[in-house]
Chains A and B, each alone.
Chain A
Amino acid sequence: MLKLHNLSKFYRTDEVETVALDNVNIEIESGEFVAIMGPSGCGKSTLLNIVGMLDSPSDGDYIFMGENVAGYPESKLSNIRKQNIGFIFQSFNLIDELTVEENIELALLYHNIPAAVRRERVAKVMDKVGIAHRAKHMPSQLSGGQQQRVAVARAVVGDQAMILADEPTGNLDSAHGQEVMEMLQSLNAEGTTIVMVTHSPAHADYARRTINLFDGHVVTENLRAAV
């Protein structure tokens, strides 16, 4: 699915250069469920942003589905991103002014899909994550777990091949957290590639592989048998 080769990312201010990622080499196959772990500031989120094409690497190659996208301009990245990648954030990032339904539809809005088809797909995915009864509600009327389910629905409604989840359970209590993890797992079972950043070893256990980052380096990779 994707391959990072000697990938580096550094931030420059006037005086200091901060290295966020240093010669990272990672390969992720189609259909994998990968967890990325590491202490705060180790570069997890930077890595996820680069993988999600929200940020570009300073050096190295990023091969996504056979294409080296490392030097691609924003508009081209945006196109690849919207076709293939769904996002789930720790803070859900739903738009407060839109209903549940509209929030999910947003992921299809910029894809030139006819309205009728959009509605149909949104309805289907809402059923799947069990939020259909809340379709007309505003995000502020939902619990955290429900909001994250909406976010998951939004991430998959476009049939994206890969989902990037940035601490999806970070803002949830354990029961809701588990609910979301199970949802991700079942998506993975249907063939969606999932890359997840997490602090929780328990939630990392849902993944088949864990990549540990420390100070911008990959320190270990653990393979685990499917649960």
Chain B
Amino acid sequence: MFQNYVQAALRNILANKVYGLINIVGLAIGLTACILIMLFVRDELSFDRFWAQSDNIYRLHTTFNVPGRQPFVTGSAQGPTKEALKAYFPEEIEYTMRFAQMRPVVKYQNKVFYERVHWVDPEATDIFDLQVVEGDLAVALSDNSSIALNQSFAQKYFGDEVAVGKILTMTTFGVVRDYKVAAVFRDLPHNTVLSFQALTMIDEQDFTHQPDLFSTWFSLNNWVYFTLKPGADISKVNAQLGSFADAAIIAPGAFEEGTKASDIVTYSTMPLTELQLKAPGGREMKPVGDQQTVIIFTSVAGLVLLIACINFTNLATAKSTQRAREVALRKVLGARRRQLIQQFISESVLLATAGLLLAIVFVELLLPYYGQFLDRTLTFSYTGTFGLTMFAGLVALVGLVAGFYPALVLSGFRPAHVLKANRSTETKGSSRLRSGLVILQFSISIALIIATSVVFGQMVYANSKDPGFNKENLLIVRNVSRDGVAEKQQILKDEILRLPGVVAAAYSADAPADGNESNSSVSIPGNPEVGSILIGRQLVDEDFFPSYEIPIIAGRNYNRDFAQDGIPDFSTAKPGEVLNGTLIVNEAALKRLGFGTPNDAIGKIVQIRTGSAGSDASFANLELIGVVADTHFKSLRKLVRPEMYYFVPDGFRNLTVRYTGDPLALLIQIETTWRDLAGDVPFSHSFVDEAMARQYLQEQNLATMLGTFASLAVLVACMGLYGLASFTAERRTREIGIRKVMGARVFDIVRLLVWQFSKPVLVANLIAWPVAAWGMIAWLESFPYRLDTWVLVPLCMIAGGLALAIAWATVGGNAARVARANPIKALRYE
């Protein structure tokens, strides 16, 4: 019986090659999209599941709720939380550990590199089961002069020699120390949010001059992981994180009267296995994925497959009249309806299987490029449970979704009627359903085109929006705070300024597109009810504004000739002493401070405080001497930050160089200057415009993926349209012949056929426009600075026009061929 079905199906496919081809290729494209996306999703879901304790590892997250600002959400926590957590949750928490990421200079013989090294607590070995291949990890993390390396790192410095026992010299915050390699571990696989190549133990005594790293409650420089004791419940920990914050955070004077620590700092925890898709943003060891992207891509791949399934349904029902005789005869010979349904579903399953085989070929061809695009290696095993389940599932799904309705229609023909009339006229219902499905296909395609264009448009908009400074021709020289350079900053700047093509140069702590977040709280003397206001802080020198070309709206720039300009030197200040200085702020800060117009603000005083303990704090009264325009130093996903520009003599990490002419030639000269001055300290640079464009990489990838899917959707939908059009033309040959005899020209006929298929595309626009507009407006909401909503109007119209043009091109050629045919052929035979 089954063999008979397969035979009938195969003959039917072979007899209608266009029909078979459209279905198989269409399904193959849809299945390819689905398989590739499933591979990606499976990989995303596999993150951090390989650890022995993967279900028992959690990370502590911190959110700062600064009044008047967007909450500052991070995946990090303060250094002191490590001990505080254990102390507050003795019953629940077993081990806690921190990762702190630094970039010391690493030296071994003549090899000197600027490397990423992680300082960790010894409990790392109790939480993460790294695969040690040499030495002993516990030993490596037991003192402050041992280090553990991964295999690539060991290979880089020691080649094939045994690494354990070798000595590396690292310079960290000016301290030069020899580290003995005590363990080598296997490189981490790609499917973890962790990324480290070298681990050494945190000895807080080594960082007493960098209290921000491990000991203060207002810096987030650690990723804090912990495990639970057997039987402990994470929800119990979560429920008490508010009281934990109040109990643990000891910072007298940091909060206003009546404010609790938990009002400002909110903690939350997240299982390690969820981090890849749900990490809250902010700094991570490497870029993480996000759930929204996974959901978007999964649904879009599903939609492409749906379009391919619709092709099958449509072509099968359109062709059903041709198979009516077969159905009628089978029924006359005793077939029951259920058997016929089985037959037709087997046929769609057979086609789906053929599509799948072709899809596997496509997947194999595309996998390397796809992996490159996703920046990871994906492999596809056909025989594994995942592969087989996916194949069987997809074939069954497609077979049923695509084949059910045609099976119902075909099996419903009444033999007496069919055999008597010798042909079956189609029911109104199935031709209406077909139009409906074509409308659905084109709605999806048009919506995808609109989505692609909006994402792309937002990227272009963000990239071309005036950031408030001139981002072109700016080069950042990094590492200027390193030992060996920090003390020669003035000479370095002078030397670079002397190079031809250098227009200006300025030191600052942060550079555009850096993720750093520094804030200071200020108060207004004589206006105590305002309280303390937290405002962003940037450290700059006097050349910062001219170099970035940031306009000064009121007042003046800092000037070295005025001894009082800038932040006073607190180093000799006595507790309670009030020093004087000057300050420049941006317009957003002015609004926060409530100082009215920029001109009104000049001469007003704000007060800052140094030291955290109330009694030994000293103060500075800063007179506002200038107001500058707001600038976007960060992605347009963030609002403009109220900013105070501290004029200070040091603390800079970047030197910004404004240049004219060939940047590469200049770069070589700057690097030479650097080598002469800084010797071993590695040179590192970036271009501001590139760094800012990189912030939109996520949008760019989204646009690429959506664009690809939109093209596939349109392609598959058009294949279906082509099939339907050729079928219709075939069915209407007689009518076309009659019309031609009546004097219709080729153009009249083409117009007739093309119009038939323009209608569903036009209706599809009416559905796609509001849906896509609604979705894309919601997407744009996440950008404080975004495309005007009205831009959607032309984008929708262009997308609709494009779809229509493509549909015309698809149908037109076929229609013209049919219209040119000699009418007598159509009329002579019945």
Contact = CB atoms under 8 A, between A and B. Distances in A.
A110 B743 contact: yes
Contact of A54 (B425, B739, B748, B823): B823
B824 A55 contact: yes
Contacts of A54: 741, 822-824
B105 to A, nearest CB: 83
Q: How large is the interface on B (under 10, 10 to 19, 20 to 34, 35 or more residues)?
A: 10 to 19
A155 B334 CA distance: 48
A106 B739 contact: yes
Given A54-B822, A55-B822, A89 B743 contact: no
A13 to B, nearest CB: 15
Nearest to B738: A93
Contacts of A89: 827
A49 B742 contact: no
Interface in B702-748: 734-735, 737-745, 748
Main SS of chain B's interface residues?
helix
A106 B742 contact: yes
Interface in B808-830: 822-824, 827-828, 830
Contacts of A91: 827, 830
Interface stretch (A35-43, A74-82, A182-190): A74-82
B824 A111 contact: no
Nearest to B737: A93
A62 interface: no
A107 B739 CA distance: 8
Centre residue among B735, B737, B738, B745 by max chain A CB count within 10 A: B738
A93 B743 CA distance: 15
A45 B739 contact: no
Contacts of A97: 735
A154 B742 CA distance: 9
Interface residues of A, number: 24
Given A81-B743, A107-B743, A95 B738 contact: yes
A171 to B, nearest CB: 9
A49 B825 CA distance: 11
Given A54-B822, A54-B823, A93-B738, A75 B828 contact: no
A111 B743 contact: yes
Contacts of A107: 742-743
A138 to B, nearest CB: 11
B748 A110 contact: yes
A82 B742 contact: yes
A33 interface: no
A45 B828 contact: yes
A82 B823 CA distance: 14
Interface in A62-100: 75, 78-79, 81-82, 87, 89, 91, 93-97
A57 to B, nearest CB: 14
Nearest to B741: A87
Given A106-B739, A107-B743, A109-B742, A93 B734 contact: yes
B827 A110 contact: no
A97 B738 CA distance: 13
Interface in B379-430: 425
Contact of A78 (B425, B735, B740): B740
Contacts of B734: 93, 95
Contacts of A52: 741
A49 B828 CA distance: 10
Interface in A110-144: 110-111
A110 B744 contact: yes
A5 to B, nearest CB: 22
Nearest to A154: B742
A55 B748 CA distance: 20
Nearest to B735: A95
Nearest to A107: B742
B748 to A, nearest CB: 6
A78 B745 contact: yes
B823 to A, nearest CB: 6
Contacts of B740: 78
Contact of A49 (B743, B745, B748, B824): B824
Interface string A187-216: 000000000000000000000000000000
Interface in B782-830: 822-824, 827-828, 830
A94 B824 CA distance: 14
Contacts of B827: 89, 91, 93
A45 B823 CA distance: 14
B740 to A, nearest CB: 7
Interface string A48-63: 0100101100000000
B738 A110 contact: no
Contacts of B737: 93
A45 B827 CA distance: 11
A17 B311 CA distance: 43
A64 to B, nearest CB: 16
Given A54-B822, A95-B738, A78 B743 contact: yes
Contact of A110 (B425, B742, B823, B824): B742
A55 B741 CA distance: 11
Contacts of A45: 828
Contacts of B828: 45
A97 to B, nearest CB: 7
Interface in B586-636: none
Contacts of B741: 52, 54, 81, 87, 93
9 contacts: A54-B741, A75-B745, A78-B740, A78-B743, A81-B743, A91-B830, A94-B738, A95-B738, A154-B742
- Listed from nearest, the 8 A-B pairs whose CB atoms lie closest are A82-B743, A110-B743, A54-B824, A95-B735, A107-B742, A106-B742, A110-B744, A93-B738
Interface of A: 45, 49, 52, 54-55, 75, 78-79, 81-82, 87, 89, 91, 93-97, 106-107, 109-111, 154
Given A91-B827, A107-B743, 6 more contacts: A79-B743, A87-B741, A89-B827, A93-B737, A96-B425, A109-B744
